Amino acid sequence: MTSTEDRFRLTDLRLPVLGAPMAGGPSTPALAAAVTAAGGLGFLAAGNRPVPGVRADVEEVRALTDGPFGVNLFVPQAANTAAPGTAADPAVHRSVAAYREALRDPARRYGVELPDTDPADDDGWAAKLELVEELRVPVVSFTFGLPAAPVLERLAAVGTTTSVTVTSLPEAEAAVRAGAHLLTVQGPAAGGHRGTHRVEDRPGEEPLVELVAAVRAAVDVPIVAAGGIASAAAADTVRAAGADAVQIGTLLLRTHEAGTSAAYREALGSGRYTETAVTRAFSGRLARGVRNGFIDRFTHIAPAAYPQVNQLTKPIRAAAAQAGDPEAIALWAGPSFAAAREAPAAEVVREVSGAPAGP
């Protein structure tokens, strides 16, 4: 058993910057290692990734750096203490069936078949928990829900620092009661998925600075502020409000080490897209992405059904990416996506931290 004295703390970082875990390709071992090597904390995204792939990613990060890093896990409904029950709601089943019919046209256009859906898919939850416990990953974070206290205790017992993504004060207080060592407090400008603890919830619009201040006044654990942070000035503002560190994702999407697809990169930097929108169209969970044709066409009919919607749109998204067509790709990004640029990740981390330029 690892001593709790050896557990990772945010104060261990030279620079108070975390690289957001970005599932679907952008988060690579090279990116995680680069953020860590720069003095921050790099993250791997285990969500929707096979267990052997997660193991290989962890091993590669450890080959690239001897510094700390994290792995992010999606909390499935069956393990989510904030939303107990099953996913077999007849109304949800009907809404998913209707959405399938609506998606037949883009499926034909991209030459793909719409798959069967499985509401009980838990993304390999038990196996991934066993893996991060076995590998003694320094930091494990959770998104999409609140795992049970024994899960957090189990990881703490091997010296892992645990973090839970929260979007409101009640979620933050619940996560602390469950035993989370850290909180990732996510504001409304976050790119990608909002980390609400229930699929159907609409996250609040309270500005990140105000949300951080409210959480800071209520809990006594370290806070990582996330969502729309695109400059050193923005990072300084949320830290002044009570955050101990900041998390960036959108700014890293075009870095050299990111696994962002060519079409995704080109869309972010092309100047053809000017705004973002929050949608359930791609996954069934609310998420912010660059506004494209798919979002415009399907946002108003997409049901609050995760993982079913994510399963349905996966082949469409993959075919669009292969074809280099950004109109049907989930271009997850925050409003300041135009600030993302082609650069080494270490340079971006230093800029956001306000540290002097490195070699």
Q: SS3 for the chain, per residue? A: CCCHHHCCCHHHCCCCEEECCCCCCCCCHHHHHHHHHCCCEEEEECCCCCHHHHHHHHHHHHHHCCCCEEEEEECCHHHCCCCCCCCCCHHHHHHHHHHHHHHHHHHHHHCCCCCCCCCCCCCCHHHHHHHHHHCCCCEEEEECCCCCHHHHHHHHCCCCEEEEEECCHHHHHHHHHHCCCEEEEECCCCCEECCCCCCCCCCCCCCHHHHHHHHHHHCCCCEEEECCCCCHHHHHHHHHCCCCEEEECHHHCCCCCCCCCHHHHHHHHCCCCCCEEEECCCCCCCEEEECCHHHHHHCCCCCCCCCHHHHHHHHHHHHHHHHCCHHHCCCECCCCHHHCCCCCHHHHHHHHHCCCCCC
Q: What percent of the chain has pLDDT over 90?
A: 94
Residue in this structure with the two tokens 């830290």, named with its chain if needed? 239
Which residues, other chains included, contact 86 with Cβ-Cβ below 8 Å and sequence gap of 6+?
77, 78, 119, 120
Asked whether residue 135 carries a pLDDT value surpassing 50, the answer given is yes
Does any domain span residue 59?
A: yes
Q: What is the pLDDT of residues 211-252, one digit of tens each?
A: 999 999 999 999 999 999 999 999 999 999 999 999 999 999
Are 21 and 357 in contact by the 8 Å Cβ rule? The answer is no
Q: Which of 64-73, 85-94, 108-117, 296-305 has the lowest mean pLDDT?
A: 85-94
pLDDT tens string 257-288: 999 999 999 999 999 999 999 999 999 999 99
Q: How many CB atoms within 10 Å of residue 2?
A: 13
- Residue 86's pLDDT is what? 56
Answer yes or no: is 358 within a domain. Answer: no
pLDDT in tens, 6-41: 899 999 999 999 999 999 999 999 999 999 999 999
pLDDT of residue 83: 86
pLDDT of 2: 47
Q: Is the pLDDT confidence value at 312 over 80?
A: yes
Domain of 255, CATH number, reads 3.20.20.70
Is 303 within the bounds of a domain?
yes
Distances (CA, A) of 358 to 23, 31, 127: 29, 17, 40
Indicate the pLDDT class of residue 110, thresholds 50, 70 and 90.
very high
Q: Which amino acid is at 71?
A: V
User: To the nearest whole percent, how much of the chain has pLDDT over 70?
Assistant: 97
Selection from 344, 325, 274, 330 nearest residue 298 by Cα: 330
Non-local CB neighbours of 272 within 8 Å, separated by 6+ positions: none
Q: How many domains does the chain have?
A: 1
Q: Mean of the pLDDT values across residues 51-74? A: 98
pLDDT tens-place string over residues 141-192: 999 999 999 999 999 999 999 999 999 999 999 999 999 999 999 999 999 9
Q: The domain containing residue 314 runs over which residues? A: 4-353
Residue 359 lies in a domain: no
Which pair of tokens denotes residue 128?
């991934």
* 256 is a domain residue: yes
Residue 79 lies in a domain: yes
pLDDT level of residue 1 (50, 70, 90 thresholds): very low
